[in-house]
Amino acid sequence: MSEQEALKCSSARNRGGTQRVEGKLRASVEKGDYYEAHQMYRTLFFRYISQAKHTDARELMYSGAQLFFSYNQLNSAADLSMLVLESLEKSEAKVEDEDLEHLAKLFSLMDPNSPERVAFVSRALKWSTGGSGKLGAPKLHQLLAVTLWKEQNYSESRYHFLHSSDGEGCAQMLVEYSAQRGFRSEVDMFVAQAVLQFLCLKNKNSASVVFSTYTQKHPSIEKDPPFVQPLLNFIWFLLLAVDGGKLTVFTVLCEQYQPSLKRDPMYNEYLDRIGQLFFGVPPKQSSSYGGLLGKCL
């Protein structure tokens, strides 16, 4: 038998062994032996990890967590979800979309109000920085944002959309957010804040997409500029000015629209930062931008 054939046989035996183990564990859970099954999952996890079988450990914990969720055994499910993360951390695995989707799936199954969910998402985002994004992989943020949107947790969904690259999804969520929770007089403010914050995060493309999609889809807004709301006209001109990069245009624009910008004291804080990023304006010595943006994002 060649070495390649031997490896194939070994892999097949391992898969068969794993499937038999999973079958026994599933039978224990189906009989209601939740504690015993949970302890066996943990034992197998640490055995696999000690043998550097990180993929086997991860797959077993992922299927086990889903099984426990289906039987409403939330604590056991959350524990195995954490072990999925631990296997990713220990293996130093490259960040793959499939892993991010699995983490987002486990997140979606957790009790929205549980402390375990908070700990899980914090750790998942930290692990995902092995890929792109200092605050977590944009793809993971996007998946989390969609789950939170479905749960109508609009403010948390908004936070994650801002750290994704999904301007269109963010806009559609904001349209619903505005319709469900906002006043008619605030329809322009929902998108203005998002555009300004995307620009502060140097994500010019998403800023443009969120504005165009929101104004196209919101039932209380004209489809094309100029708009009835002065604040929307300001944002439209601002996005054009960012593309042009001319400081004089930016300065005049901010001066002309001060009455609209005074509706939210944060707007001028954001614009100070946008001036620095896109128009070469030196930072103010007393600027509290960092802390303020941190609070809002």
Tell me if 58 is assigned to some domain: no
Sequence letter at residue 295 = K
In a domain, 268, yes or no: yes
**Model confidence pLDDT, tens digit, residues 36-60:** 999 999 999 999 999 999 999 999 9
Residue 28 placed within a domain? no
Segments of 90-221 assigned E as strands = none
Is residue 16 in some structural domain? Answer: no
pLDDT tens, residue by residue, 276-296: 999 999 988 655 544 444 444
**Number of domains present in the structure of the chain:** 1
pTM: 0.88
Is 220 within the bounds of a domain?
A: yes
- DSSP string covering 257-294, please? THHHHTTSTHHHHHHHHHHHHHH-PPPPTT--HHHHHH
| Closest by Cα among 189, 100, 171 to 158 | 171
**Amino acid of residue 296:** C
Whether residue 212 is contained in a domain is answered as yes
Look at residue 121 and tell me if it is in a domain: no
Q: Decide if 57 contacts 65 (C-beta within 8 A).
A: no
Specify if 207 maps to a domain. yes
- Domain coverage including residue 224: 184-296
Who contacts 17 (Cβ-Cβ below 8 Å, separation ≥6)?
A: none
Q: Which of 11, 35, 12, 37 is nearest to 24 (CA)?
A: 37
The CA angle 238-176-192, to the nearest 5 degrees, is 15
Q: Side-chain half-sphere of 6: how many Cα atoms within 13 Å?
A: 3
Cα separation of 140 and 156, whole Å? 14
pLDDT value of residue 1: 52
